[in-house]
Amino acid sequence: MVRKILTLFLAGAFVVGCSTNKITGRSQLHLLPESELQSMGAQQYQQFLSENKVVSPSGDRDAEMVRRVGQRLASAVTQYFASKGLQDQLQGYKWEYNLVADNQANAWCMPGGKIVVYTGLLPYTRNEAALAIVLGHEITHAVFQHGNARMSQQMVAQGLGSALSVALSSRPQQTQNIFLQAFGVGSTLGILKFSRNDESEADHYGLIWAALAGYNPQEAIPFWQRMAQAQANSQKPPAFLSDHPTDDQRIADIQKWMPEALKYYKPGTARR
């Protein structure tokens, strides 16, 4: 009975809180205001940085690379949205890019463009273009509000309602944990999985952002092959794969989207 009531409630919430992505035409449940998520993201981002070892970009080549790739991708995404007349959808974005000393192979992007790359990811990316593929993927999750959908579903399912401020006031730790899980921060919180459609959108448009930023999108194929091999060789896959399945279908889809992505690629505008 309880499950039936919850199902009906979620169905009703989906109808009320459903919004359509104007780029892809896909509908998702977005109960939480983007401005509130960005505010929470900024707070959680600063807390995360204060509790972890941030690698200074001054004199460190890897940290400089992360910032450079992040800046180019942010510019590419901003220009793409503006070209579609959708610049308002990125209102409030104040991009930040930091490399954190941590052996996890992981990266994430919070609402508002708050990006972290862990040093443990770099042995897998190996070059700047592959890093752009990863960050393009994570940025897509943020700008397409995939995390909003995951967090909305979890807040309703856990009885927190859809008012973020109320949830933070009544059950702050639970709400913060849901937020961190929804946006893939850390590896010990039981990260919520993105849907197959979320992953496909992130793969697809991540290629486009990377190409627009001047990075060869074809680097995506060997990168995902390396990640698939890492998963096959280990009982515990890299943290980056905890909600990013790698399989033949993913690589086949990337190959299918590659001609489109290459239309945006202008060699020589960024380092490989």
SS3 letters for the chain?
A: CHHHHHHHHHHHHHHHHEEECCCCCCEEECCCCHHHHHHHHHHHHHHHHHHCCEECCCCCHHHHHHHHHHHHHHHHHHHHHHHCCCHHHHCCCCCEEEEECCCCCCEEEECCCEEEEEHHHHHHHCCHHHHHHHHHHHHHHHHCCHHHHHHHHHHHHCCCCCCHHHHHHHCHHHHHHHHHHHCCCCCCCCCCCCCHHHHHHHHHHHHHHHHHCCCCHHHHHHHHHHHHHHHHCCCCCCHHHCCCCCCHHHHHHHHHHHHHHHCCCCCCCCCC
Residue 6: inside a domain, yes or no? Answer: no
Residue 32: inside a domain, yes or no? Answer: yes
Which pLDDT score is estimated for 31? Answer: 77
Which pLDDT score is estimated for 144? Answer: 95
Residue 270: inside a domain, yes or no? Answer: no
By residue range, what is the domain housing residue 41? 12-262
Which pLDDT score is estimated for 188? Answer: 42
Which pLDDT score is estimated for 169? Answer: 60
| Count of domains observed in the chain | 1
Residue 94: inside a domain, yes or no? Answer: yes
Residue 52: inside a domain, yes or no? Answer: yes
Which pLDDT score is estimated for 127? Answer: 96
Residue 204: inside a domain, yes or no? Answer: yes
Which pLDDT score is estimated for 15? Answer: 43
Residue 3: inside a domain, yes or no? Answer: no
pLDDT per 10-residue tile (average), the chain, 272 residues: 44 56 89 87 95 94 98 98 96 97 93 96 96 97 89 70 58 73 62 73 97 98 89 64 65 96 86 47
Which pLDDT score is estimated for 245? Answer: 53
Which pLDDT score is estimated for 75? Answer: 97
Residue 5: inside a domain, yes or no? Answer: no
Global pTM reads 0.84
